[in-house]
Amino acid sequence: MSENFVETVSAPQKTAWSKASVIIIGPAHPLRGGLASYDERLAKAFMDKGNDAAIYTFSYQYPSFLFPGTTQYSTEPAPENISIHVKINSVNPFNWINVGNELRKLRPDIIVVRYWLPFMGPCLGTILRRVKKNRHTKIICIADNIFPHEKRPGDKAFTNYFLKPIDGFITMSEKVLADLHQFAKGKPAKFVPHPLYDNFGEKISKEEAREKLNINLNDKVILFFGFIRKYKGLDILLNAMKLLKQNPSTQNIKLLIAGEFYEDEKNYQELLNDPLIKNNLILHTEFISDSMVKYYLCAADCVIQPYRNATQSGVTPLAYHFEIPMIVTNVGGLPSLVPDKKVGLIAEPNAESIAEKVKEYFDLGEEFFLSHLREEKKKYSWEVMVKTIIELLK
């Protein structure tokens, strides 16, 4: 085990609610991905306000049938000055009881637990039931999803089991808040937009980013970023590229695809190899490390999210942070986060509408959106998230 991971924690000093001891339960280093980055940034936000904060993460997170990627583990160094406890085994009930008992005795003032997948319901629900026996710790859930993107038997039962010990909820989209009300009536819940991912470095020039990625500075580039899964609609976007190619004013637009396949790549091969658009595709279909994120965002003229369905997206706060306008589809919580013709454009989830909005975006130009985007991004602070969690407990 790396020296970066703390296996035991001394009981934190108990203070007033404005200076609380906080445990975050969810993915964190050495695990990789957006959930891990979020939890690490949230811990920092609590500490910036003078709270004691640590993370309990997974020693075993997913069985292989739930993880189609190449690896669950990061090659990046552990974040500095954050206590990360690699403790939780998602499939071992004896582990759940042991971790729950440990946290019960530790008596943190607050536990913030992430919920994104019903599979985690039995594990997290059991841990939290043990914690509640101390009659002190308050538990807030940040619910990424209530209904999963890919449904499986047992989803409803697992979610119901998880929700019972929770004292209050934060959702990052209004759709998830509405879904939550079907399960957890009478418990306090608030919608807080996903804070900015400001832990991937500062914005760099388009020239520097494109030089790093070997992309021509004069190209018009739209970016599809993140894991490739069916609900994210990459196939719809590729069909939109075929329509753009047939229009003389848009035929030279390039699509940069940056992210690892989380389903069979064969489902996309025919579109990716279509001779009409093949030369307009820039393929970086591997996991994008944290240190490389800024290059992909800053190389783009526009970020595009052609999703079939969505609650919220971690790509949106990334685009806000790096001040890149967006085209998103009119599904789930995406339109409420991207005001139309201010921060970006709203398309319907079909190839014709997406192609039309890509053309409109370049007709309007990047400068049309930037002042609105910079003003809108002020809403998405980590301080608001921490403040809302504390207010829920009062």
Q: Who has greater pLDDT, 381 or 364?
A: 364
Predicted TM-score of the model (pTM)? 0.74
How confident is the model at residue 298, as a pLDDT? 97
How confident is the model at residue 179, as a pLDDT? 86
Residues 328-372 pLDDT 10s: 999 988 898 899 999 999 999 999 999 999 999 999 999 999 999
How confident is the model at residue 354, as a pLDDT? 98
> pLDDT band for position 314 (50/70/90)?
confident
**Residue 172 DSSP class:** S
Distance CA 385, CA 194 (A): 8
How confident is the model at residue 68, as a pLDDT? 56
Helix/strand number for the chain, H first, E second = 14, 13
Q: Give the relative orientation of helices 121-132 and 155-163 as an angle to the nearest 10 degrees.
A: 20
What are the structural domains of the chain?
21-191 (3.40.50.11930), 206-379 (3.40.50.2000)
Q: Tell whether the model's pLDDT for residue 210 goes beyond 90.
A: yes
* Bridge partners, residue 326, by sequence: 303, 344
Average pLDDT rounded to a whole number, residues 48-58: 95
